[in-house]
Amino acid sequence: MSAPPDPRVPSPRTPAPKTPAWPPRSAPRLFVDQTLAEGATVMIEGPQAHYLARVMRVGEGDAVVLCDDVTGEWAARVVEAGKRTVVLGAAERLRPRENVPDLWLAPALLKKDRFDLVLEKATELGVARVAPVVTRRCVADKLNAERARTIVVEAAEQCARTALPQLGQPMRLEAMLRDWPQERTLFFADEQGGTPASDAFSAGSPCAAILTGPEGGFDDGEREMIRAHPQARPITLGPRILRGETAAIAAVAVWMAVRGDWRSADYSGNSQPAD
């Protein structure tokens, strides 16, 4: 007669206890200027150090996720957490830098809070570049580059991007059209009509840009100039007239659904743009 099983010994059919995911999904995420490598020491100062030490209250051994916009995403541990400086050690690479869909957004400058929203959402949606445009009806003709970069970086951290979109300096519409690259289709969101956006994006080149207008829209002269450009393709975003920020966000969302990387179910970084 066999001895009864020892309750302290797991049965072969008893699943092994799961190891907690590391780094946890709740780990803070930061973009850093330093190119990362296994074993690299990263010193965090300024607002980022304040965020880690005072807001997230990280301590020695805690996990932080780092991105460098070059090599990808890295798991790091806190080596030292001071009041003004946090020292991290890069442990292992989690993901390579993502393949970013080749979409530029060329939004006309808007009032500050509305343009901030465009920058944030365009980054979250996955654009490769934001190229601000100055038109005749723009209420602003300048962009605070430092503030804009902060918005873009924080949005990328929030949405788990491993690549930052490029951020161009504002250009006059005439100059932008004059210097426009021949290989890039310019989809022009025109409230006066055009091809439905989803149809135009499906038939168009994957090397593309979307131009959206300011408060009050483009004037007649600008509209004629854009429509006459050889790379321009007028599109419509539906039967309603949209605000400048809504048009920019909606157009990017449609393009990403049709030609971008929205086939991925998670942020594993393995998705590829549609053909």
Which of 96, 123, 155 delimits the end of a domain? Answer: 96
The verdict on residue 146 lying in a domain is yes
The verdict on residue 8 lying in a domain is no
Sign of CA dihedral 159, 247, 215, 127: positive
pLDDT at 274: 47
The set of long-range contacts for 199-206, using a CB threshold of 8 Å and a minimum separation of 24, is 200/233, 200/235, 201/235, 201/254, 201/255, 201/258, 201/259, 202/258, 202/259, 204/233, 204/259, 206/101, 206/102, 206/259, 206/273, 206/274, 206/275
The verdict on residue 144 lying in a domain is yes
Alpha-carbon span 129 to 106, nearest angstrom: 8
Alpha-carbon span 155 to 122, nearest angstrom: 9
The verdict on residue 216 lying in a domain is yes
Residues 58 and 157 in one domain: no
Residues 227 and 116 in one domain: yes
Residues 122 and 251 in one domain: yes
At 95, phi and psi to the nearest 5? Answer: -150, 145
The verdict on residue 18 lying in a domain is no
Residue 96: partners with Cβ closer than 8 Å, 6 or more residues away: 71, 72, 162, 269
pLDDT at 83: 86
Provide, rounded to the nearest whole percent, the portion of the chain with pLDDT above 90: 81
pLDDT at 267: 54
Which of 39, 70, 96 delimits the end of a domain? Answer: 96
Using one digit for the tens of pLDDT, what is the confidence trace for 39-77? Answer: 999 999 999 999 999 999 999 999 999 999 999 999 999
Mark out the alpha helices in the chain (DSSP H runs): 46-50, 112-125, 145-158, 173-178, 197-203, 220-227, 244-259
pLDDT at 22: 75
Return the CATH number at 112: 3.40.1280.10
The verdict on residue 10 lying in a domain is no
Residues 63 and 88 in one domain: yes
Answer yes or no: is pLDDT of 212 > 90.
yes
Instruction: Give the bridge partners for 167, in sequence order.
Output: 130
Residue 275 CA, chain-centre distance (Å), reads 21
The verdict on residue 264 lying in a domain is no
Between 181-185, 188-192, 255-259, 264-268, the lowest mean confidence (pLDDT) is in 264-268
Question: Can you tell me the mean pLDDT for 235-250?
Answer: 96
Residues 214 and 146 in one domain: yes
Alpha-carbon span 152 to 215, nearest angstrom: 22
**Total domains present in the chain:** 2
Tokens 């519409």, residue located: 173
Mean pLDDT of the chain: 90
Residues 140 and 203 in one domain: yes
Return the CATH number at 79: 2.40.240.20
Residues 179 and 119 in one domain: yes
The verdict on residue 158 lying in a domain is yes
Using one digit for the tens of pLDDT, what is the confidence trace for 156-197? Answer: 999 999 999 999 999 999 999 999 999 999 999 998 889 999
Which of 96, 117, 151 delimits the end of a domain? Answer: 96
Residues 33 and 143 in one domain: no
Is 198 in contact with 258 (CB distance < 8 Å)?
A: yes
Pairing of strands 195-196, 232-236: parallel
Q: Per residue, what are the HEC states of 106-118?
A: EEECCCHHHHHHH
Residues 59 and 128 in one domain: no
* Domain housing 151: 103-259
Residues 90 and 108 in one domain: no
Residues 49 and 114 in one domain: no
Alpha-carbon span 182 to 192, nearest angstrom: 25
- The two three-digit tokens of residue 265, written as one number: 């179910």
Using one digit for the tens of pLDDT, what is the confidence trace for 101-141? Answer: 999 999 999 999 999 999 999 999 999 999 999 999 999 99
Residues 75 and 130 in one domain: no
